């Protein structure tokens, strides 16, 4: 496989959930063995929700710990805080000059935010896709491991990159692609019958990597179900299909097959299925819980990792910004 430049990030707005893991983080860990990787904590992006100064660093640190707990290795990848790389902001400014109001207003995630938080529709939300494009293009990345919900942002990144190249008749930026190993981009469903596992989708919807076993069991037992199939081989209603999707990511094929058969023969008892799913989730998350606790305790090691990541990210970003400034016509 060709060695690519890879870049991606996650917003520090709480603990990481299984959606973040299966949509993004799992790929980060795998890609670091094969490619040149830049993984950051998106702590500029989190400002759209106005965290307090006290929360800003501790939230970012928490995500860094969870990156490491999942297996990101600072020897293999460049791991850094987005706010340690102000070159990103310079590129954001340049990209914003060629991003148009109409196209930014049509972005699905922006329209969702307008609906969810009508009293805080700030310009940062509107230009979220240009900041994201800057994150990626600052390293000239070609592959971006993300979940399905980020597909449109990647499309916009390509639009901005292409527009910049053609405006300055240059080939500064490659056109990056969203990436998931060998498959379609992933969308992990939530536990409350909603389509997506997410932090803002309501209480009990997400399983977090550091949830205690008792919390996991409680959340799964509360997941929405119905009264069960009445005829063999019926299509599954959304909330049941969601449970099977979750089972497919943490349980063995044999377990999934067993419950599929029970469903198709109308013998399924959702209580049993949920118990099994809960135990498989507890087993799956166990190593994360342990490593998160260990890594959190070592502030000095975390600082060293951040400093090193900052330095390496800076080298790559500086090269791009120098080239961009030259192409735009600024004095060198």
Q: Which is nearer to ligand TYM, 128 or 259 (CB)?
A: 128
Smallest distance, ligand TYM to C-beta of residue 321, A: 17
DSSP string, 253-287: HHHHHHHHHHHHTT---HHHHHHHHHHHHHHHHHH
Residue of 76, 148, 199, 275 marked catalytic = 199
Q: Which is nearer to ligand TYM, 29 or 186 (CB)?
A: 186
Active site residue 111: no
Smallest distance, ligand TYM to C-beta of residue 287, A: 20
Q: Which is nearer to ligand TYM, 7 or 240 (CB)?
A: 7
Tell me how far apart the alpha carbons of residues 14 and 196 are, in angstroms, rounded to a whole number.
16
Tell me how far apart the alpha carbons of residues 216 and 201 are, in angstroms, rounded to a whole number.
17
Active site residue 76: no
Binding-site ranges for ligand TYM (CB under 6 A): 8-11, 19-20, 22-24, 42, 45, 132, 135-136, 144, 146-147, 149-150, 186-188, 196-198
Residue nearest to ligand TYM (CB): 23
Q: Which is nearer to ligand TYM, 132 or 324 (CB)?
A: 132
Active site residue 140: no
Q: What is the dihedral of CA 316, 318, 324, 325, to 10 degrees?
A: 180
DSSP string, 278-328: HHHHHHHHHHHHHHHHHHHT-HHHHHHHHHHHHHHHHHHHHHHHHHHHHHH
Smallest distance, ligand TYM to C-beta of residue 40, A: 8
Smallest distance, ligand TYM to C-beta of residue 329, A: 27
Residues with catalytic function? 113, 196, 199
């Amino acid at each position: 496989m060709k060695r690519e430049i890879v870049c991606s990030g996650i917003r520090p707005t709480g603990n990481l959930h299984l959606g973040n893991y299966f949509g993004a983080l799992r790929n980060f860990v795998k890609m670091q063995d094969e490619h040149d990787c830049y993984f950051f904590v998106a702590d500029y992006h989190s400002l759209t929700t106005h965290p307090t100064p006290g929360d800003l660093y501790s939230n970012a640190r928490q995500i860094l710990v969870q990156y490491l707990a999942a297996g990101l290795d600072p020897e293999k990848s460049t791991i850094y805080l987005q706010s340690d790389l102000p070159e990103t902001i310079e590129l954001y400014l340049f990209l914003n000059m060629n991003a148009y109001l109409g196209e930014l207003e049509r972005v699905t995630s922006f329209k969702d935010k307008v609906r969810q938080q009508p009293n805080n529709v700030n310009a940062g939300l509107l230009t979220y896709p240009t900041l994201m494009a800057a994150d990626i293009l600052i390293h000239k990345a070609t592959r971006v491991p993300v979940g399905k919900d980020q597909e449109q942002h990647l499309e916009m990144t390509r639009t901005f990159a292409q527009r910049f190249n053609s405006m300055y008749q240059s080939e500064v930026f490659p056109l990056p692609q969203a990436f998931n190993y060998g498959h379609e981009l992933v969308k992990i469903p939530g536990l409350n019958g909603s389509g997506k596992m997410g932090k803002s989708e309501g209480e009990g919807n997400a399983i977090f990597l550091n949830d205690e076993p008792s919390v996991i069991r409680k959340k799964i037992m509360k997941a929405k179900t119905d009264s069960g199939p009445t005829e063999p081989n019926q299509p599954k209603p959304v909330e049941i299909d969601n449970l099977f999707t979750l089972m497919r990511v943490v349980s063995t094929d044999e377990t999934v097959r067993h419950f599929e058969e029970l469903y198709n023969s109308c013998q399924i008892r959702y209580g049993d299925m949920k118990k099994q799913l809960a135990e498989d989730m507890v087993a799956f998350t166990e190593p994360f819980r342990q490593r998160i606790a260990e890594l959190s305790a070592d502030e000095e090691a975390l600082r060293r990792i951040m400093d090193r990541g900052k330095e390496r990210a800076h080298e790559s970003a500086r090269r791009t910004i120098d080239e961009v400034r030259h192409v735009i016509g600024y004095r060198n």
